[in-house]
Structures are given as structure tokens and as C-alpha cells.
Amino acid sequence: MIRRDPVTLKKVLKVYFICGTPNVSRPLTEILEEAVQGGATIFQFREKGEKALTGEKKKEQAAKLQAICHEKGIPFIINDDVELAVELNADGVHVGQDDTSAREVRAKIGPDKILGVSAHSLTEAVQAEKDGADYIGVGPVFATSSKDDAEEVCGPERISEFREEGLTLPIVAIGGITFENTPAVIRAGADGISVISAIASSASPADAANKLYRKASS
């Protein structure tokens, strides 16, 4: 069970691809297959925004993406939609501070699933851990155009601060992550990088994921 083993979980979080249909201009299933082939180690289905799928269409898309993740052996995480995650028996859920509370999500998904929580301050990070989070997402580390309601840019320094304060929970850095700035966030203490556009907007998601994997591992 991944979530009970921090060493394995940290490896799994190395290249965390997040995507929804509004983020792509060709089938997300294709992009996910290529990203995993290149080196993405975990995937989060984040179906948000004006053109986001809902209801049955969202469920069908999620099931297809889940099948790809299972076939390739990487965890399939759903953003925010706890009911869908439970219905599909997804590998985990990621929630932000404005979504369902982490404690409530943990109660609904049970002890064996992966729970990720976005945290912007040490207080939120410590609370997330108490509530049963397995990892936290910290961001936006750099400027991003992929999230309308993103908080203020916090820089890799926020991650170093969390580590200096003694936080040992796995951390993924998010927001504006590129090949170029990946080494800085890993040096700051992140276990992995979490990206939408660096993979989804690349002409070659496979090459992008591969390069990110190598940058995050060196």
C-alpha cells in the first residue's frame, strides 16, 4: 500500500501530471498515455473551468483515464470530486483549502487511499497532516496561468521554510514548474513536481515528462 510507505510515496510523487479536458487540444487519453510513457509517475484528473465535463461524460472520461493509469501502473487521483473517486474506486483524492475538508475526505475514502491537500502556510500543512493527508501540494511556486484563483506566488523558499520548520510530510511543488526551475524546487526540499502545462501544452508530452523526470531525479 503506497500511502503507508513514505519512501515509495515520495518516488511516486516525482512527476505528478495534473490535467483535465479544458487543458488540452487533443484527446486527454492520448496525452496521458504519452506522458506516462515518458515518465509521469502519478496522474490527477482535474476537470475544472468553463468547458469542463460534468455528470456521465465526466465519469466516462475519468474511467478511461483510470484504465490507462492502471494499465501503466501509476496511481489515479481525482481532484475534489470525492463521490466520483469513491464510485470509481480511484487511488486517491486531492483537495484544496476551499474544497471538502481533508478530515471529511479521509473519512469517506478510507485509510488505504492517497489523500493530497494544497497548503499555503505551515499552519495549513500541519493541519493537513493531522487530518490524514499523505502529501501536500505547495504553490503557486511560480506564476501560472492554469489556475484562475491561484494564491500569491510563494517561490521555492516556502518549501525550504516548511522543511526548516521540521515538516517531513512529502511535498509536491506546483505552479509554473518548468524544466529550468525544477532543480530549484527539488533543492528546496520538494519530493516531486506537479505540472499541467509543462506536459499538456508540450508538442511532445512524452519528451516533456521524460525531461522533467530526469530534472527531478538529478
- CA angle (58, 64, 67) in 5-degree steps: 135
Strands (E), 81-177: 92-95, 114-118, 135-138, 171-174
Q: Is 77 in the site for ligand 3NM (CB under 6 A)?
A: no
Quickly count helices (H) and strands (E) in the chain: 10, 8
Whether 51 is a known active-site residue: answer no
Q: Is 181 in the site for ligand 3NM (CB under 6 A)?
A: no
Whether 118 is a known active-site residue: answer yes
For ligand 3NM, the binding residue among 2, 105, 196, 212 (CB under 6 A) is: 196
Cis geometry, peptide bond prior to residue 75 (ω within 30 degrees of 0): no
**Which of these ranges, 30-38, 63-71, 124-132, 134-142, lies near ligand 3NM under the rule CB under 6 A?**
134-142
Residue 138 CA to residue 159 CA, distance in Å, equals: 7
Q: Is 102 in the site for ligand 3NM (CB under 6 A)?
A: no
Nearer to ligand 3NM, 66 or 182 (CB): 182
- Site pattern 139..178 for ligand 3NM (x: CB under 6 A): xx---x-xx--xx----------------------xxxx-
| Residue type at 60 in one-letter notation | E
Residue 14 CA to residue 214 CA, distance in Å, equals: 10
Nearer to ligand 3NM, 61 or 194 (CB): 194
Question: Is residue 109 exposed (0-12), middle (13-18) or buried (19+ Cβ within 10 Å)?
Answer: buried
Binding site for ligand 3NM (CB under 6 A): 18, 118, 137, 139-140, 144, 146-147, 150-151, 174-177, 195-198
Q: Which residues are the active-site residues?
A: 46, 118, 147
